[in-house]
Amino acid sequence: MYEPWRIKIVEPISITTPSQRQQALQRVAYNLFDLRADEVTIDLLSDSGTGALSAAQLAAGMTGDETYAGSRSFYHFYGTAAELTGYKHVLPTHQGRAAERILFSVLLEAGDIVLSNTHFDTTRANAELAGAEARDLPCPEARNLDSEEPFKGNIDLAALRLTLEGAEGARVAAVVMTITNNGAGGQPVSMENLRRTAELCRQHAVPMILDAARFAENSWLVTRREAAYHNRTPRQVAEEAFRLADGCIMSAKKDGLVHIGGFIGLNDRDLAQKCERLLIATEGFSTYGGLAGRDLDMMAQGLREVTEPSYLEERAGIAAYLAERVREAGVDIVEPAGMHALYLNAGRLFPHIPPHQYPGHALACQLYQQGGIRSAELGSLYLGEEDEHGNPVKSAPYELVRLALPRRVYTRSHYDHVAATLEQVVKAAASVHGYRIVDQSPILRHFSIKLQPVTTP
Ligand code: F0G
């Protein structure tokens, strides 16, 4: 399928030489987060806040109302979000993690447990900052990266039931369902899984909260993969999903189609009031929540556009296209391909590089060095640990690299360049070396880490 839009505004991308990129890599000590945008040709680091706005969104932004309290833009946003989600209380925030922090500060207490299909890192961090334990219960199918099961983003219902009914059940303060499951290969969650989770939560009087960052993509995959939903529109699926939950936290930088924005949606008045108080103290008054009026108007328009079937069909199509080209290049991905990202199996591509020499990071560096492509390692650099002498203590279950696909930004020929670069990397795979850490910080080390190539085994 072709793109259901044409391009009105273009932005040049930087075209660099291999030797410039080699110099850049050395300058940043092989930490791709430290590259400047001008040094990157195709940036697949994140699909968050990196999409293109539509003409209708820009027009909505121009009519944004910057009144401090009670702006027209807030009511445009509120009306759209309340209609989509069905929640009575909708509080804007500047992005997803602000929504997490506010909701969790109010909902959680020290010693509580939050269960999830898989927490995104900031969701986990905010639960832990509130003194709670964030525990992941991904379904067993998620462990097999190659299998074609349609809903590998599901929560493990048996484990959920056991925990809720067991000795720790009374400590469970929330169940967070991340749709789609970014921490587990961008896989979708089925409506059946959401419904059964909601039933268990209701029986145990535990709120079920959607982490809805990619709700429209999840809805599209439901219409394609879940028989009972073949005749529904993505919008209908999304409306039903929100209504199964007691509330949501949303990063609108993904399926809100905006560069900045988010919100909290809730039905519980008391909880919403407590969140509102914290919102006013830390984000902004409850009718702007850290955003400009124009941002609220653009977010409202984005939330309406994102469930358009033609938009979602093309987005799934371009991900499937790149997935096929990547497989042809000889690189395995987490199957089946989702929509917001492809997760490359670097461990399998470089069996000669041990986890503590970071095969995923080696692939990310190769993609940059050879094609100017920036990606994100999701393996032992991100999740592993070493002792003070650098000996490995813990490695990640898989050595992956995420190619995140910004919305409405790159075309097929950009992705052809990604696939061609991967082909080159595969040809010389046996000669690719690993890395060792020369400096790191104790938390979230991947953002600031410094590394060196390991040239001898
Ligand atoms: N939840 C999920 C599932 C996410 O993927 C993200 C962000 C957040 C919450 C936090 O939202 O960034 O607006 O504060 N994910 C980005 C990514 C950063 O690249 O996957 P935020």
Q: Where are the domains of the chain?
A: 18-47+308-453, 55-305
Q: Is the pLDDT of residue 271 over 70?
A: yes
What are the b/e assignments for 192-227, b being 16+ CB within 10 Å?
Answer: ebbebbbebbeebebbbbbbbbbbbbbbbbbbeebe
The stretch 47-75 carries a mean pLDDT of 98
pLDDT of residue 444: 78
Q: Give the whole-angstrom CA distance, residue 339 versus residue 220.
A: 9
Instruction: Please tell me the distance between residue 393's alpha carbon and the centre of ligand 1 in angstroms.
Output: 28
Active site residue 416: no
Active site residue 356: no
Of the candidates 43, 136, 211, 255, the residue annotated as catalytic is 211
Check pocket membership of 123 for ligand 1, CB cut-off 6 A.
yes
Q: Give the whole-angstrom CA distance, residue 140 versus residue 304.
A: 35
- Per the CB < 8 A criterion, the answer to whether 362 and 353 are in contact is yes
Check pocket membership of 93 for ligand 1, CB cut-off 6 A.
no
Of the candidates 56, 68, 447, 450, the residue annotated as catalytic is 68
Check pocket membership of 89 for ligand 1, CB cut-off 6 A.
no
For the CA of 340, the closest atom of ligand 1 is 20
Active site residue 394: no
CATH architecture of 55-305: 3-Layer(aba) Sandwich (3.40)
Q: Give the whole-angstrom CA distance, residue 85 versus residue 72.
A: 20
pLDDT of residue 242: 98
For the CA of 99, the closest atom of ligand 1 is 14
* Fold annotation for 18-47+308-453: Aspartate Aminotransferase, domain 1 (3.90.1150)
Residue nearest to atom 9 of ligand 1 (CA): 96
- Is 0.85 topped by the overall pTM? yes
Q: Give the whole-angstrom CA distance, residue 50 versus residue 405.
A: 9
Instruction: Please tell me the distance between residue 251's alpha carbon and the centre of ligand 1 in angstroms.
Output: 6
Q: What is the DSSP letter of 33?
A: G
Active site residue 120: yes
Asked if domains 18-47+308-453 and 55-305 share a fold, the reply is no
| Mean pLDDT (the chain, rounded) | 96
Active site residue 88: no
Instruction: Please tell me the distance between residue 454's alpha carbon and the centre of ligand 1 in angstroms.
Output: 32
Of the candidates 152, 254, 356, 361, the residue annotated as catalytic is 254
- What is the per-residue pLDDT across 282-292, written as a single tens digit (0 to 9) for each? 999 999 999 99
Contacts of 78 (CB under 8 A, 6+ apart): 90
- What is the per-residue pLDDT across 427-452, written as a single tens digit (0 to 9) for each? 999 999 999 999 888 777 888 899 99
